[in-house]
Protein backbone atom coordinates (compact mmCIF):
# COMPACT_ATOMS: atom_id res chain seq x y z
CA UNK A 1 0.00 0.00 0.00
CA UNK A 2 1.47 3.31 -1.02
CA UNK A 3 0.09 5.44 1.78
CA UNK A 4 1.61 5.90 5.19
CA UNK A 5 -1.10 4.81 7.62
CA UNK A 6 -1.92 7.31 10.36
CA UNK A 7 -4.60 7.61 13.03
CA UNK A 8 -4.81 11.29 12.03
CA UNK A 9 -5.40 12.38 15.63
CA UNK A 10 -2.23 14.46 15.89
CA UNK A 11 -2.12 18.20 15.26
CA UNK A 12 1.44 17.78 13.96
CA UNK A 13 0.81 18.77 10.34
CA UNK A 14 4.20 17.51 9.21
CA UNK A 15 3.13 13.95 10.11
CA UNK A 16 0.17 13.94 7.74
CA UNK A 17 1.79 12.73 4.54
CA UNK A 18 1.40 10.00 1.96
CA UNK A 19 4.40 7.89 1.03
CA UNK A 20 4.72 7.75 -2.76
CA UNK A 21 6.11 4.72 -4.58
CA UNK A 22 9.17 6.85 -5.41
CA UNK A 23 9.99 7.17 -1.72
CA UNK A 24 9.02 10.84 -1.57
CA UNK A 25 6.27 12.07 0.73
CA UNK A 26 3.28 14.22 -0.24
CA UNK A 27 1.36 16.21 2.40
CA UNK A 28 -2.16 14.82 2.54
CA UNK A 29 -3.93 18.21 2.47
CA UNK A 30 -2.97 20.72 -0.20
CA UNK A 31 -4.28 23.94 -1.69
CA UNK A 32 -6.14 23.78 -4.99
CA UNK A 33 -5.63 26.77 -7.29
CA UNK A 34 -8.06 26.35 -10.20
CA UNK A 35 -10.17 29.38 -11.25
CA UNK A 36 -7.99 31.92 -9.45
CA UNK A 37 -6.36 34.92 -11.12
CA UNK A 38 -2.61 35.47 -10.87
CA UNK A 39 -3.14 38.15 -8.23
CA UNK A 40 -5.70 36.19 -6.21
CA UNK A 41 -3.74 32.95 -6.31
CA UNK A 42 -0.59 34.72 -5.08
CA UNK A 43 -2.46 35.98 -2.01
CA UNK A 44 -4.09 32.58 -1.46
CA UNK A 45 -0.80 30.67 -1.62
CA UNK A 46 0.96 33.12 0.70
CA UNK A 47 -1.91 32.74 3.18
CA UNK A 48 -1.84 28.96 2.85
CA UNK A 49 1.89 28.76 3.53
CA UNK A 50 1.48 30.98 6.59
CA UNK A 51 -1.31 28.70 7.85
CA UNK A 52 0.86 25.59 7.41
CA UNK A 53 0.05 24.14 3.99
CA UNK A 54 3.07 22.53 2.38
CA UNK A 55 1.36 21.08 -0.72
CA UNK A 56 0.40 23.42 -3.56
CA UNK A 57 -1.46 22.02 -6.56
CA UNK A 58 -1.00 23.85 -9.87
CA UNK A 59 -1.56 23.25 -13.58
CA UNK A 60 -0.50 24.77 -16.85
CA UNK A 61 -4.17 24.97 -17.83
CA UNK A 62 -5.06 27.21 -14.88
CA UNK A 63 -2.98 30.06 -16.31
CA UNK A 64 -1.88 31.30 -12.89
CA UNK A 65 1.44 29.58 -12.22
CA UNK A 66 3.26 32.92 -12.22
CA UNK A 67 1.27 34.03 -9.20
CA UNK A 68 2.08 30.81 -7.37
CA UNK A 69 5.76 31.24 -8.22
CA UNK A 70 5.76 34.76 -6.81
CA UNK A 71 4.10 33.55 -3.60
CA UNK A 72 6.55 30.71 -3.06
CA UNK A 73 9.49 32.98 -3.87
CA UNK A 74 8.26 35.57 -1.37
CA UNK A 75 7.88 33.04 1.43
CA UNK A 76 11.34 31.63 0.76
CA UNK A 77 12.81 35.14 0.96
CA UNK A 78 10.95 35.67 4.27
CA UNK A 79 12.59 32.48 5.58
CA UNK A 80 9.09 31.12 6.19
CA UNK A 81 9.96 28.03 4.12
CA UNK A 82 12.79 26.47 2.18
CA UNK A 83 12.15 25.09 -1.29
CA UNK A 84 12.39 21.54 -0.01
CA UNK A 85 9.65 22.22 2.55
CA UNK A 86 6.90 22.72 -0.03
CA UNK A 87 5.52 20.00 -2.32
CA UNK A 88 4.67 21.59 -5.68
CA UNK A 89 2.52 19.79 -8.22
CA UNK A 90 1.80 20.89 -11.78
CA UNK A 91 0.22 19.26 -14.82
CA UNK A 92 0.79 19.01 -18.55
CA UNK A 93 -2.31 20.25 -20.35
CA UNK A 94 -3.88 18.38 -23.27
CA UNK A 95 -2.82 20.98 -25.86
CA UNK A 96 0.79 19.98 -25.17
CA UNK A 97 0.45 16.18 -25.16
CA UNK A 98 2.32 15.93 -28.47
CA UNK A 99 5.68 14.44 -27.47
CA UNK A 100 7.55 17.29 -29.17
CA UNK A 101 5.76 19.83 -26.93
CA UNK A 102 6.12 18.15 -23.55
CA UNK A 103 9.53 19.38 -22.47
CA UNK A 104 8.97 22.99 -23.49
CA UNK A 105 5.61 23.04 -21.68
CA UNK A 106 7.22 21.60 -18.57
CA UNK A 107 10.03 24.15 -18.65
CA UNK A 108 7.50 26.96 -19.02
CA UNK A 109 5.75 25.76 -15.85
CA UNK A 110 9.07 25.43 -14.07
CA UNK A 111 10.04 28.98 -15.02
CA UNK A 112 6.64 30.39 -14.07
CA UNK A 113 6.84 28.69 -10.69
CA UNK A 114 10.37 30.02 -10.14
CA UNK A 115 11.75 26.69 -8.97
CA UNK A 116 14.48 24.35 -10.17
CA UNK A 117 12.41 21.17 -10.00
CA UNK A 118 8.87 19.94 -9.41
CA UNK A 119 7.91 17.43 -6.77
CA UNK A 120 5.17 15.91 -8.93
CA UNK A 121 4.18 16.40 -12.57
CA UNK A 122 0.95 14.95 -13.87
CA UNK A 123 -0.39 14.09 -17.30
CA UNK A 124 -3.56 16.15 -16.86
CA UNK A 125 -5.75 14.30 -19.37
CA UNK A 126 -5.16 11.11 -21.38
CA UNK A 127 -6.33 12.64 -24.66
CA UNK A 128 -4.71 15.41 -26.68
CA UNK A 129 -6.17 18.64 -28.05
CA UNK A 130 -4.87 20.59 -31.01
CA UNK A 131 -2.25 23.15 -30.00
CA UNK A 132 -3.50 26.43 -31.48
CA UNK A 133 -3.00 28.76 -28.54
CA UNK A 134 -6.38 28.13 -26.94
CA UNK A 135 -6.84 26.19 -23.71
CA UNK A 136 -10.01 24.62 -25.10
CA UNK A 137 -9.67 24.74 -28.90
CA UNK A 138 -13.19 24.43 -30.27
CA UNK A 139 -14.40 23.98 -33.84
CA UNK A 140 -17.38 25.61 -35.55
CA UNK A 141 -19.74 23.13 -33.88
CA UNK A 142 -18.42 23.99 -30.42
CA UNK A 143 -16.60 20.69 -29.97
CA UNK A 144 -13.01 20.50 -28.83
CA UNK A 145 -10.60 19.70 -31.66
CA UNK A 146 -8.84 16.53 -30.56
CA UNK A 147 -5.63 15.01 -31.91
CA UNK A 148 -4.98 11.28 -32.14
CA UNK A 149 -1.91 11.12 -29.90
CA UNK A 150 -1.40 8.03 -27.77
CA UNK A 151 -1.03 8.92 -24.09
CA UNK A 152 1.77 6.34 -23.84
CA UNK A 153 3.86 8.42 -26.21
CA UNK A 154 3.25 11.44 -23.98
CA UNK A 155 4.10 9.44 -20.87
CA UNK A 156 7.49 8.46 -22.27
CA UNK A 157 8.39 12.15 -22.41
CA UNK A 158 7.45 12.58 -18.75
CA UNK A 159 9.74 9.66 -17.94
CA UNK A 160 12.61 11.57 -19.56
CA UNK A 161 11.98 14.49 -17.20
CA UNK A 162 12.49 12.14 -14.27
CA UNK A 163 15.74 10.88 -15.79
CA UNK A 164 16.95 14.48 -16.13
CA UNK A 165 16.23 15.20 -12.47
CA UNK A 166 13.72 17.92 -13.33
CA UNK A 167 10.87 16.24 -11.45
CA UNK A 168 10.95 13.86 -8.51
CA UNK A 169 7.75 11.95 -9.30
CA UNK A 170 5.31 11.76 -12.20
CA UNK A 171 1.68 10.77 -12.29
CA UNK A 172 -1.63 11.01 -14.07
CA UNK A 173 -5.05 12.62 -13.79
CA UNK A 174 -8.47 11.70 -15.17
CA UNK A 175 -7.49 8.26 -16.47
CA UNK A 176 -9.97 5.38 -16.44
CA UNK A 177 -9.26 1.85 -15.24
CA UNK A 178 -8.44 0.53 -18.71
CA UNK A 179 -6.00 3.35 -19.41
CA UNK A 180 -4.28 3.05 -16.05
CA UNK A 181 -3.93 -0.72 -16.44
CA UNK A 182 -2.39 -0.31 -19.87
CA UNK A 183 -0.03 2.38 -18.59
CA UNK A 184 1.18 0.09 -15.82
CA UNK A 185 1.93 -2.66 -18.35
CA UNK A 186 3.87 -0.46 -20.76
CA UNK A 187 5.61 2.19 -18.66
CA UNK A 188 9.20 2.26 -17.44
CA UNK A 189 8.43 4.69 -14.61
CA UNK A 190 5.28 3.83 -12.70
CA UNK A 191 2.86 6.65 -11.91
CA UNK A 192 3.28 7.81 -8.32
CA UNK A 193 -0.11 9.49 -8.07
CA UNK A 194 -3.51 9.63 -9.74
CA UNK A 195 -5.54 12.80 -9.30
CA UNK A 196 -9.27 12.23 -9.81
CA UNK A 197 -12.58 13.90 -9.03
CA UNK A 198 -13.77 12.55 -5.67
CA UNK A 199 -16.67 13.53 -3.45
CA UNK A 200 -19.74 11.83 -1.96
CA UNK A 201 -21.30 12.35 -5.40
CA UNK A 202 -18.49 10.37 -7.06
CA UNK A 203 -16.78 7.95 -4.68
CA UNK A 204 -14.87 5.92 -7.33
CA UNK A 205 -14.20 2.94 -5.06
CA UNK A 206 -12.99 0.67 -7.88
CA UNK A 207 -10.45 3.21 -9.09
CA UNK A 208 -9.18 3.81 -5.57
CA UNK A 209 -8.78 0.07 -5.03
CA UNK A 210 -6.91 -0.30 -8.34
CA UNK A 211 -4.54 2.51 -7.36
CA UNK A 212 -3.88 1.19 -3.89
CA UNK A 213 -3.29 -2.32 -5.26
CA UNK A 214 -0.59 -0.86 -7.51
CA UNK A 215 0.92 1.46 -4.87
CA UNK A 216 -0.35 4.63 -6.54
CA UNK A 217 -1.38 7.46 -4.23
CA UNK A 218 -4.76 9.05 -4.94
CA UNK A 219 -5.51 12.76 -4.78
CA UNK A 220 -9.10 14.03 -4.65
CA UNK A 221 -9.93 17.15 -6.64
CA UNK A 222 -13.27 18.98 -6.40
CA UNK A 223 -13.85 17.41 -2.95
CA UNK A 224 -16.41 20.07 -2.00
CA UNK A 225 -18.59 19.62 -5.08
CA UNK A 226 -17.16 22.26 -7.43
CA UNK A 227 -20.25 24.44 -7.60
CA UNK A 228 -18.04 27.41 -8.53
CA UNK A 229 -17.14 25.90 -11.89
CA UNK A 230 -18.31 28.10 -14.80
CA UNK A 231 -20.82 25.59 -16.20
CA UNK A 232 -22.58 24.80 -12.91
CA UNK A 233 -26.33 25.42 -12.94
CA UNK A 234 -28.63 26.80 -10.26
CA UNK A 235 -30.64 23.58 -10.37
CA UNK A 236 -27.73 21.38 -9.31
CA UNK A 237 -27.55 20.10 -5.74
CA UNK A 238 -24.97 21.82 -3.51
CA UNK A 239 -22.89 19.25 -1.66
CA UNK A 240 -21.99 21.67 1.13
CA UNK A 241 -25.72 22.07 1.84
CA UNK A 242 -26.57 18.38 1.88
CA UNK A 243 -28.63 17.60 5.01
CA UNK A 244 -26.54 14.53 5.85
CA UNK A 245 -23.29 16.48 5.69
CA UNK A 246 -24.82 19.31 7.72
CA UNK A 247 -26.02 16.84 10.38
CA UNK A 248 -22.51 15.40 10.84
CA UNK A 249 -20.93 18.86 10.86
CA UNK A 250 -23.34 20.12 13.51
CA UNK A 251 -22.68 17.14 15.78
CA UNK A 252 -18.92 17.53 15.49
CA UNK A 253 -18.89 21.32 15.68
CA UNK A 254 -17.14 21.45 12.32
CA UNK A 255 -17.89 23.03 8.96
CA UNK A 256 -19.37 20.94 6.14
CA UNK A 257 -16.14 21.50 4.20
CA UNK A 258 -14.07 20.12 7.07
CA UNK A 259 -16.26 17.01 7.17
CA UNK A 260 -15.82 16.45 3.42
CA UNK A 261 -12.05 16.96 3.56
CA UNK A 262 -11.76 14.69 6.57
CA UNK A 263 -13.61 11.94 4.68
CA UNK A 264 -10.74 11.66 2.21
CA UNK A 265 -8.02 12.01 4.84
CA UNK A 266 -9.46 9.02 6.69
CA UNK A 267 -9.50 7.04 3.44
CA UNK A 268 -5.77 7.69 3.05
CA UNK A 269 -6.39 10.00 0.10
CA UNK A 270 -4.74 13.36 -0.49
CA UNK A 271 -7.19 16.21 -0.92
CA UNK A 272 -6.79 19.67 -2.47
CA UNK A 273 -9.69 21.96 -1.54
CA UNK A 274 -9.59 25.31 -3.28
CA UNK A 275 -10.39 28.68 -1.73
CA UNK A 276 -9.27 32.28 -2.12
CA UNK A 277 -10.64 33.43 1.23
CA UNK A 278 -8.21 33.48 4.15
CA UNK A 279 -10.72 32.20 6.71
CA UNK A 280 -11.67 29.21 4.55
CA UNK A 281 -8.07 28.44 3.66
CA UNK A 282 -7.32 28.25 7.38
CA UNK A 283 -10.49 26.32 8.21
CA UNK A 284 -9.95 23.76 5.44
CA UNK A 285 -6.60 22.87 7.01
CA UNK A 286 -8.04 22.24 10.48
CA UNK A 287 -9.02 18.63 9.86
CA UNK A 288 -6.50 16.72 11.96
CA UNK A 289 -8.15 16.98 15.39
CA UNK A 290 -11.26 14.87 14.87
CA UNK A 291 -12.45 11.62 13.34
CA UNK A 292 -15.57 10.60 11.45
CA UNK A 293 -17.22 7.52 12.92
CA UNK A 294 -18.19 4.47 10.90
CA UNK A 295 -21.77 5.67 11.21
CA UNK A 296 -20.79 9.06 9.79
CA UNK A 297 -19.13 7.45 6.80
CA UNK A 298 -22.13 5.16 6.22
CA UNK A 299 -24.40 8.19 6.29
CA UNK A 300 -22.21 10.00 3.76
CA UNK A 301 -22.18 6.94 1.53
CA UNK A 302 -25.97 6.84 1.64
CA UNK A 303 -26.12 10.11 -0.34
CA UNK A 304 -27.75 8.79 -3.50
CA UNK A 305 -26.66 11.48 -5.97
CA UNK A 306 -24.14 10.33 -8.60
CA UNK A 307 -22.65 13.20 -10.53
CA UNK A 308 -19.38 13.83 -12.38
CA UNK A 309 -18.81 17.57 -12.48
CA UNK A 310 -15.57 17.65 -14.48
CA UNK A 311 -16.35 15.54 -17.53
CA UNK A 312 -14.82 17.46 -20.49
CA UNK A 313 -17.90 16.45 -22.47
CA UNK A 314 -17.01 18.67 -25.44
CA UNK A 315 -14.15 16.22 -26.07
CA UNK A 316 -16.24 13.05 -25.69
CA UNK A 317 -15.84 12.20 -29.39
CA UNK A 318 -12.10 11.65 -28.98
CA UNK A 319 -10.54 8.18 -29.14
CA UNK A 320 -8.92 8.46 -25.71
CA UNK A 321 -11.81 10.20 -23.93
CA UNK A 322 -11.77 8.43 -20.55
CA UNK A 323 -15.32 8.78 -19.26
CA UNK A 324 -17.29 6.60 -21.69
CA UNK A 325 -19.11 3.62 -20.25
CA UNK A 326 -17.50 0.23 -21.02
CA UNK A 327 -14.41 1.97 -22.33
CA UNK A 328 -11.98 0.00 -24.49
CA UNK A 329 -9.48 1.33 -27.00
State the catalytic residues: 62
Q: How far apart are CA 294 and CA 300, in angstroms?
A: 10
Spatial neighbors of 290 by CB under 8 A, at least 6 apart, are 252, 254, 262
Say how many CA atoms lie within 13 Å of 26 toward its Cβ.
Answer: 37
As a whole number of angstroms, the distance between CA 184 and CA 191 comes to 8
Which segments of 52-190 does DSSP mark as H helices, in order?
Answer: 65-77, 99-113, 151-163, 177-186
Q: How far is CA 206 from CA 16, 115, 271, 310, 315, in A?
A: 24, 36, 18, 18, 24
What residues contact residue 205 under an 8 Å CB cut-off, 6+ apart?
A: none
Cα 178 to Cα 95, 148, 185: the distances in Å are: 22, 18, 11
**Helix, strand or coil for residue 128?**
strand
Amino acid sequence: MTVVEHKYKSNNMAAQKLKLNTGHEMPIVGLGTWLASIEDVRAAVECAIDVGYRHIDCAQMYGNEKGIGLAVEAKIKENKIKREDVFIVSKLWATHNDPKDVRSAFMESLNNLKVGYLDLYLLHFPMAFVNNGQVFPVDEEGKITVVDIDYMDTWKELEKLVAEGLVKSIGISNFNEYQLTRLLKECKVRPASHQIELSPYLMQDRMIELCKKNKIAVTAYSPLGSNARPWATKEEPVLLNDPKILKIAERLGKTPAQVLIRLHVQRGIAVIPKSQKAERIKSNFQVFDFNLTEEDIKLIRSIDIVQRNIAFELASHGKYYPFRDNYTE
